[in-house]
Amino acid sequence: MQSVKDKVIYQVYVKSFMDSNGDGKGDIAGITMKLDYLKRLGADCLWLTPVFVSPMNDNGYDVADYYSIDPSFGTMEDLEVLISEAKKRGLGIMLDMVFNHTSTDHEWFRKAIAGDKKYKDYYIFRRGREALPPTNWISKFGGSAWEMAGESGEYYLHLFDRTQADLNWENEDLRKELYDVVNFWIKKGVVGFRFDVVNLISKPDVLEDDLNGDGRRFYTDGPRVHEHLKELARNTFGKHHDMITVGEMSSTSIENCVRYSNPLEEELSMVFNFHHLKVDYEAGDKWTLKEFDFMELKKIFNDWQTGMEKEGGWMALFYNNHDQPRSVSRFGSDSKYHKESAKMLATSIHLMRGTPYIYQGEEFGMPNAYFDDISEYRDVESINYYDILKSKGMAEAEILEVLREKSRDNGRTPMLWDDSDGHGFTTSVPWLPFAKVPGISAEADLASSDSIFNHYRKLIELRKQYEVISDGTFMMTDMENSHLLCYLRCKGTGKMLVVSNFYDDETEFDLDKLFYETSIDFRKCTFESVLISNYYDLAKVGEIIRIRPYESFALYVEDKHPSC
Ligand code: TEU
């Protein structure tokens, strides 16, 4: 396995990145057009969301044919050109493998429904109980996780949309089919894979009602998941030393993530977990309005950073992806302190222990969509929940307010390349409206002397220059501070302090106190010690640093002291 410690990965949500043929949808040829922009940023790899044939009920996460490119994204030749053009620029391509489920349009599922026993066992069919489904499990997109298969009295399991049928990983033939898929794409020259909700692939033999929840405790990090991942690795990417793999882990635990990602386990290079992105859920419910809980965010970062480090695990570092609202709107300020907070968030996450992911548009601070009407949304989950909240009696205005904060479409609006009508994304009508945020675009950001883009570029450069960033230990300080996220990273004599203000008011950071608590001395640091900052100067008065709104910086000193 290749070391991923000094890598940075850029996520492309293909449908919203760049439309090369004027149909309102982003495509593979559009990505090729923007390779120089991505090269300039300095990321190592591009992870493309699924580009395979799909009815697009869940924008490609419902795959109907793993071997062909969906015509709306282009052709196989377009992908081959992208792989080779990216390679010329030192960029690797990672593909997204959706192996927990297929589309109900997949040939396997069609055969299964037609009664073909071989293919029926590729999926999870069970008889219902009188008028009830086999268990009371709830789909992650709302409603029952079971759908009746025609008139048969049997149901199939779908943890996501009813058009996304869960695969039966207990079937060896099915597993081999999936290995063939991975090997096919390895031959095409991709450098790695992201595996969609891969910790949900192992279901128990006997499926039972969940009397205390929605069923997830039975299939999350399920009984044979580690065995399955080891076998997958052995038969596919594990045979190649330089492949990068990341598993998306839903509702997982540190203990399991250590096993998924510790190189000795020979499973994956790293994992995504989402605990830190639930700090604005009221009692665990996403579809609520709540200020984010900063102290909880700090606690989760601390638990995961130290827990993974202790046992040799490796994690992906991110605030954004295509399922999340935009971080600058969620944890920062997308108006008065747009630039400051976008840069603060970047620094706060990139300098932790793990591999950073940049989600398209994040590099110039793209904010939430700010849609006003349900007709503007396209996401299956958002539309399902609009109906569910309505049926529960929530008022229309409140539902729209919840969606404005929580909808996945916030992260999916097309790239704002420039300020023109089609924003440099398309020459026609975009498939999803643009975010309503005048003045924000890649072009405008790059034209400014203090661009967010350059801040990200600098963070990537620093990771490559400083081992303390790519390979240092992690220690959180000032745990009780309710404004600042502060942590130390140490590698040999190299010591780095990262301080980030998550609020728009001023506060202070005391270097003396840090010295007495940790024995690491940053008191002599000068402007030269600043690796990166989102203000022009360091407001240091004696041993106290005055911290301004959303200010964030990293200080570096050489210090022989062995602590941390
Ligand atoms: O996401 C899995 C997942 O857990 C999220 O969909 C999550 O349930 C949701 O965002 C909560 O609000 C992956 C993909 O990233 C997502 O786009 C797909 O819809 C999903 O799997 C099904 O393939």
Q: Mind listing the pLDDT tens digit for each residue in 192-223?
A: 999 999 999 999 999 999 999 999 999 999 99
Which residues, at least 6 apart from 462, have a Cβ–Cβ distance to it below 8 Å? 351, 469, 531, 532, 554
How is residue 415 annotated by DSSP?
P
pTM for this structure? Answer: 0.97
Pocket test for ligand 1, best of 138, 166, 196, 286 (most atoms within 8 A of CB): 196
Among 406, 431, 455, the domain boundary falls at 455
Q: Which atom of ligand 1 is nearest to the CA of 140?
A: 8
Question: Which structure tokens are listed for 110?
Answer: 């069609």
> What strands lie across the sheet with 146-148, from one edge to the other?
125-127, 154-157, 146-148
Say if CB 217 and CB 164 are below 8 A apart. no
Q: Which atom of ligand 1 is nearest to the CA of 161?
A: 22
517 and 435 in a single domain? The answer is no
CB of 278 within 6 A of ligand 1: the answer is: no
Q: What is residue 563's predicted lDDT score, i.e. its pLDDT?
A: 64
461 occurs within a structural domain: no
273 occurs within a structural domain: yes
Residue from 248, 280, 381, 559 carrying the catalytic annotation: 248
43 and 120 in a single domain? The answer is no
In this prediction, the residues of the chain whose per-residue pLDDT falls under 70 are 1-2, 562-564
79 and 191 in a single domain? The answer is yes
Partner residues linked to 358 by β-bridges = 10
> What strands lie across the sheet with 552-558, from one edge to the other?
473-477, 484-491, 494-501, 552-558, 530-533
Residue from 166, 196, 381, 478 carrying the catalytic annotation: 196
CATH number reported for the structural domain that contains residue 156 in this entry: 3.90.400.10
Indicate if 231 belongs to the active site.
no
Greatest CA separation for the chain: 78
Distance 323 CA to ligand 1 centre (A): 6
464 occurs within a structural domain: no
| Rounded CA separation 327/318 (Å) | 9
How is residue 353 annotated by DSSP?
S
| Rounded CA separation 374/188 (Å) | 41
148 and 191 in a single domain? The answer is no
18 and 148 in a single domain? The answer is no
CB of 197 within 6 A of ligand 1: the answer is: yes
Residue 444, burial from CB neighbour count under 10 angstroms (0-12, 13-18, 19+) = middle
Reported as half-sphere exposure (CB side, CA atoms, 13 A), residue 403 has a value of: 30
130 and 237 in a single domain? The answer is no
298 and 413 in a single domain? The answer is yes
Q: What is residue 527's predicted lDDT score, i.e. its pLDDT?
A: 82
Indicate if 379 belongs to the active site.
no
Say if CB 534 and CB 343 are below 8 A apart. yes
Which residues, at least 6 apart from 17, have a Cβ–Cβ distance to it below 8 Å? 26, 30, 31, 34, 360, 414, 415, 425
Q: Which helix (H) or strand (E) holds 541?
A: strand 540-541
* Tally of structural domains, the chain: 3
126 and 91 in a single domain? The answer is no
CB of 324 within 6 A of ligand 1: the answer is: no
Question: Which structure tokens are listed for 186?
Answer: 């390895």
CB of 140 within 6 A of ligand 1: the answer is: yes
CB of 226 within 6 A of ligand 1: the answer is: no
Distance 308 CA to ligand 1 centre (A): 23
Q: What is residue 278's predicted lDDT score, i.e. its pLDDT?
A: 98
Among 455, 480, 498, the domain boundary falls at 455
382 and 499 in a single domain? The answer is no
Q: Of all protein residues, whose CA lies closest to atom 20 belonging to ligand 1? A: 61
CB of 119 within 6 A of ligand 1: the answer is: no
CATH number reported for the structural domain that contains residue 96 in this entry: 3.20.20.80
Residue 313 sits in which domain range? 9-100+167-455
Q: What is residue 525's predicted lDDT score, i.e. its pLDDT?
A: 86
Q: Of all protein residues, whose CA lies closest to atom 4 belonging to ligand 1? A: 250
CATH number reported for the structural domain that contains residue 538 in this entry: 2.60.40.1180
Give Cα separations from 546 to 349, 501, 510, 536, 554 (angstroms).
Answer: 22, 11, 9, 13, 14
Pocket test for ligand 1, best of 12, 49, 61, 248 (most atoms within 8 A of CB): 61
CB of 61 within 6 A of ligand 1: the answer is: yes
Among 407, 431, 455, the domain boundary falls at 455
* CA 342 distance to own-chain centroid: 17
Q: What is residue 5's predicted lDDT score, i.e. its pLDDT?
A: 98
Q: Of all protein residues, whose CA lies closest to atom 17 belonging to ligand 1? A: 323
Distance 320 CA to ligand 1 centre (A): 13
Say if CB 10 and CB 61 are below 8 A apart. no
Q: Is the dihedral of CA 98, 103, 105, 109 positive or negative?
A: positive
Which residues, at least 6 apart from 98, have a Cβ–Cβ distance to it below 8 Å? 50, 60, 61, 62, 63, 196
Q: What is residue 1's predicted lDDT score, i.e. its pLDDT?
A: 45
Reduce the DSSP state of residue 483 to 3 states and report it: coil
Q: In the chain, what is the straight-line distance between the N-terminal and C-terminal CA atoms, in Å?
A: 28
Which residues, at least 6 apart from 453, have a Cβ–Cβ distance to it below 8 Å? 41, 363, 364, 442, 445, 446
462 occurs within a structural domain: no
CB of 160 within 6 A of ligand 1: the answer is: yes
Q: Of all protein residues, whose CA lies closest to atom 9 belonging to ligand 1? A: 323
Residue 216 amino acid letter: R
85 occurs within a structural domain: yes
Q: Which helix (H) or strand (E) holds 494?
A: strand 494-501
261 and 247 in a single domain? The answer is yes
240 occurs within a structural domain: yes
Q: What is residue 130's predicted lDDT score, i.e. its pLDDT?
A: 85
CB of 6 within 6 A of ligand 1: the answer is: no
563 occurs within a structural domain: no
96 and 112 in a single domain? The answer is no
Q: What is residue 86's predicted lDDT score, i.e. its pLDDT?
A: 98
231 and 190 in a single domain? The answer is yes
Q: Which atom of ligand 1 is nearest to the CA of 141?
A: 8
Q: What is residue 342's predicted lDDT score, i.e. its pLDDT?
A: 98
515 occurs within a structural domain: yes
CB of 96 within 6 A of ligand 1: the answer is: no
